[in-house]
Structure 1
Amino acid sequence: MTKLAESVRETADEYRQGANRPLGGYVVAMTAFAGLAGAAGAVAALRGTSGRRISPYDLILMTAGTHKLARLISKDAITSPLRMPFTRYRDSAGPAEVTEEVREDGELRHAIGELVSCPFCLAVWVATGFSIGFLFAPRFTRIAASALTAVAGADYLQLIYANLQQSAED
């Protein structure tokens, strides 16, 4: 076992090339994700809900809802207390959004910081949550996804309005 551990450590060090890459934290995050998704899949199979399909309409809701919720969690100023243990504030980044740096201390803390501050990374988790929601609580999930989709649409309309207003003033 010691030889295997040493081999993994050497390979990880070679991979990192001196950079601070929290590979151990990534392993914990991937294990948690796989465990949650696997458990949900097993429960769905036992309950007979694993054959449910997501309609094209629900997929559109889930797509827009995933975009909005991932962005809300990872970039919104109001959700910064959720990210605070894993990130540090850097600057404002557009309407109601902030830019943050990932905390470097601790592999798990660093890995979670990268996850919760990246809307692209977080979208995988959010979409999986919506998928599980559609299996077990489709009505509630549809309502939540609809609300998030409406907010995403409103955001785009606000940005379009602001751009048109600025163009008219110039």
Structure 2
Amino acid sequence: MMTYVRQWGAAVLAAGAALTLGSGPVPATAAPGTPQPYWGTDSPQHPIALVKSGSSGPVTFGITRAGDLPSHVDKLTLTVYSPELMRLADPKVTPVGKAPGGWSCRMYDGMTPVEHNGRHMVCTARYSGPPPAKEWHWKVNIAAPAELSAGTRSANGWASLRLHSPGHGSGTWWDSNAMTLEARTPVAGATP
């Protein structure tokens, strides 16, 4: 009986230690391929983009560098979700300023691949160079349904950027904090 109690106690202590070790942030010396803690500060478009009902228009989003990043990255992945009442008009991401371009995107409505009016898209770029020195911004085209009322704000759209740094084995991924995408339809009678 005493042996069973000791074995059970050792198992409980080992499980507790594993939970404690697994609950904190990933240390900078994490094994290759292990995602690092989130980096960056949201840099949304101000003022909020205006998109007329029944049409589409550009919405800008971005990330400001915050925290330590590797000196060189060799792959980028960008995931973009449309604002809740609108859709992504097409599977294109356009760089603004010095942000990397050359994105190849797949758009989806739920799990179904689509060419237009998707809810989210996943994009990749074969960028090789330094991470953002200060900020990177991009824009996507957002479509507003024709039935959307004037002055309706469509929020909760977001994007996330993953930077891959080469290294031993499979390298390491660095995930950004969320970047905000939102838009609204113009108020009736107002000029944008």
**Which structure carries more relative contact order (alpha carbon 8 Å, separation 6+)?**
2
Q: TM-score over 0.5 for the alignment?
A: no
For the pair shown, the structure with the greater C-alpha radius of gyration is 2
TM-score for both structures, normalised by structure 1: 0.27
Higher strand share: 2
User: Structure 2 length normalisation: TM-score?
Assistant: 0.25
Higher helix residue share: 1
